[in-house]
Structure 1
């Protein structure tokens, strides 16, 4: 079976500044992969290359064994979608109008979103618990509701792969957990492959099947959360001392201070 998404020897940088170098990754269909690392480590750059928002200076990204650089934009959007940290805040349209935009990759240039496409919109609104808010303006929504609305648009694309770039950053803890539980349900019930850049390491450990840690543009740790979350991991990757506890099979870390070996 081909990997859902693969990165092969990716390199990216700005002039003399190398951001990503020799990056290799295979994501299994239906897997939830978490990408973590210090600020400036290259996490978001990797995600942008995986989604073809930017092109690697060297290397290949493949989806289902096919190089995405050779695929049409619509062809990619029928299989892959991305939810960023922030969206267009001043967009004064209803939730349903936004979610309808998710059907664009499946429509011909002259075709309207109706019939079976409207049924997919109904499903996306229902599965993200946004049906009751579908006629509200995005401007009238809370931050958590707005993030769910954009996720509903992503799901209306009927994707196989969902990329997320720190989607909980500006949400309070209740809305963070609500969004993470929703994504877990989509992952388990719909078989959605999820690749997520996360800032909250304990959330990464609780929800992700596998964690990839990036530092200075390269993968430095990889494995199940219980394999990655070791004292040395926090010291070497994040420059902190930490204690790790087992919470019913989920590793939870508690930061204790700056590591003595940290540079600077």
Structure 2
């Protein structure tokens, strides 16, 4: 990938980002989950984590930020790929030299930008609503940034793989059910140590738990690590697991994407459109 392709892809992503901000329907689709989780945290503000006097809503806040990173990198990119396979956007990108590379760079810019916005929608009201968050030091913000970047790198390639495997956006519902299951067991809304050990081990396989843990380590006081596994924020393990997912994804995603691009043709796009029209009727 040369510099010209990077510039073209970045420009494409910024244009799509600007269009998203001017399209009420698209903007609401991105921000609606953040609004819902903000309401959930508001009602959690009076509850406390068992064995502490710390607000459960304050603990949930950084966990939701981590979840936004994973959902943005994984689900949003996958949905974008499936939608634009169906409408022929990918086929047009394939026909241009360096088009697929530029397309992916554009999606990275778009997804990264909207992930930052959705995080801000949760974080800013949360800072006003909850006391005791450790946001006064530079180290907290540095930790938040590296967890954000590593979380996106760990999940975006996986999102590209999932988007390449499904030919229709209506099939994405098959992914949402296991994702909701992971949310339930990954310590997002309640400390993971409250679950059976076998569920804890399952949660620790996936990026969602580690991204949430990293965000909690950035924004919560050190004493709150007592409710985590091993009574520690486990930064090294976070880097290791997310880094492993990133390496695997970056190795697998280009292969899967190339195979998907080779299968794209005018007849394939026409067939998918015909199926979509039949469902609509």
Q: Work out whether the TM-score is over 0.5.
A: no
The structure whose residues are more often helix, as a share, is 2
The structure whose residues are more often strand, as a share, is 1
Report the TM-score when normalising by structure 1: 0.25
Higher relative contact order (CA 8 A, sep 6+): 2
